[in-house]
């Protein structure tokens, strides 16, 4: 049976389903990954190095950029390969030639208010720490967006939360089509006892 979004959210275990983001009834595709033990260990090893990356780059140049900026440890090699993979999926689906790629270690709540992004598509993956919070169509009152009223935006509902390693591909404000298809989301609050958030973000720059 073909996959279909539920209240605007399509959840899959297959990255080729990212192309379904272009459905009129889809706001976000969530790729639920099942990291194996060695991958989880590599992520934990990478975290103390506080890897950071901020660059606008074409996909063909990304491999050398990652090799130069992330280093040669086994953990960093794994992380670089995964960023390369996710960037290729994003380019395939978005059609962007230039990619704006950010990798950050975050200890605070960057965007505490529910919002939609001012772009066409955005890919987010939290490798370690607390994942992005988001609302489906049945939870969100978009009339309250931009007013600093989280409780009114989510109508008192408990938001969904991405798990570590999940990959979210979200529509934004400038995606062509219905204006109510941009994905409502926010950064998570840091949780006591949880590691700092290691987050990848990919946007189109052309």
CATH number at residue 64: 2.60.120
45 located within any domain: yes
Question: Which pTM was predicted?
Answer: 0.94
59 located within any domain: yes
147 located within any domain: yes
191 located within any domain: yes
What is the rounded CA–CA span in Å between residue 31 and residue 148?
A: 29
Model pLDDT, residue 42: 84
For 24-59, write each residue's pLDDT tens digit.
999 999 999 988 887 888 888 887 878 899 999 999
State how many domains the chain has.
1
For the chain, the three-class secondary structure string (H helix, E strand, C coil) is CCCCCECCEEEECCHHHHHHHHCCCCCEEEECCCCCHHHHHHHHHHHHHCCCEEEEEEHHHHHHHHHHHHCCCHHHHHHHHHHHHHHHHHHHHHCCCEEEEEEEEECCCCCCCCECCCCCEEEEEEEECCCCEECCCCCCCHHHCCCCCHHHHCCCCCCEECCCCCEEEEECCCCCCCHHHCCCEECCCCCCCCCCEEEEEEEECC
For 164-196, write each residue's pLDDT tens digit.
999 999 999 999 988 889 999 999 888 777 778
Tell me if 72 sits within 8 A of 148, measured CB to CB. no
């Amino acid at each position: 049976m073909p996959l279909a979004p539920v209240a605007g959210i399509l959840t899959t275990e297959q990255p080729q389903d990212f192309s379904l983001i272009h459905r009129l009834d889809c706001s976000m595709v969530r790729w639920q990954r099942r990291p194996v033990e060695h991958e989880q260990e590599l992520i934990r090893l990478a975290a103390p190095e506080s890897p950071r990356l901020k660059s606008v780059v074409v996909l063909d140049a990304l491999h050398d950029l990652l090799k130069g900026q992330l280093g040669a440890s086994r953990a960093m090699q794994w992380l670089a390969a995964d960023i390369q993979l996710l960037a290729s999926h994003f380019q395939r689906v978005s059609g962007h030639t230039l990619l704006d790629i950010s990798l950050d270690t975050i200890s605070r709540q960057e965007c505490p208010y529910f919002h939609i992004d001012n772009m066409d598509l955005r890919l987010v993956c939290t490798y370690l720490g607390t994942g992005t919070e988001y609302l489906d169509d049945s939870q969100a009152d978009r009339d309250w967006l931009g007013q600093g009223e989280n409780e009114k935006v989510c109508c008192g509902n408990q938001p969904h939360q991405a798990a570590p390693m999940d990959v979210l591909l979200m529509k934004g404000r400038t995606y062509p089509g219905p204006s109510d298809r941009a994905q409502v989301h926010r950064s998570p609050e840091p949780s006591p006892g949880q590691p700092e958030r290691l987050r990848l973000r990919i946007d189109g720059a052309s």
